[in-house]
Amino acid sequence: IRETEASKARLAALTPPAACVAHHRESLGSLDDALEMLRSLKAATGSPEPAALLASVASHANALRARAEAVKKEEQALRQRYVTGR
């Protein structure tokens, strides 16, 4: 969890170029989703009834997967436009 928090802080400290603002914002959101999933998993493992809390982990994992797919599409579009489109 600490490593993910540190990664988020490093990413948040960056000022992206205008074309990358959406990708930067979604990447930060992905890290937020990852942190929530990790915290939910930690809570579930320390709970007397972990099965009940694992549903929350699954929900956070689904949100993370959806956001990761959106970030990947945005990255591909940026690469197409600015790297291979030259």
**Tens digit of pLDDT for each residue in 16-71?**
999 999 999 999 999 998 998 899 899 888 888 888 888 888 888 888 899 899 99
pLDDT, residue 71, reads 92
Report yes or no: 34 and 64 within 8 Å, Cβ to Cβ. yes
- Give CA–CA dist 80/82, Å, rounded: 6
pTM of the model: 0.81
pLDDT, residue 76, reads 93
pLDDT, residue 86, reads 55
- Give CA–CA dist 20/15, Å, rounded: 9
Q: Which of 14, 51, 49, 52 is nearest to 31 (CA)?
A: 14
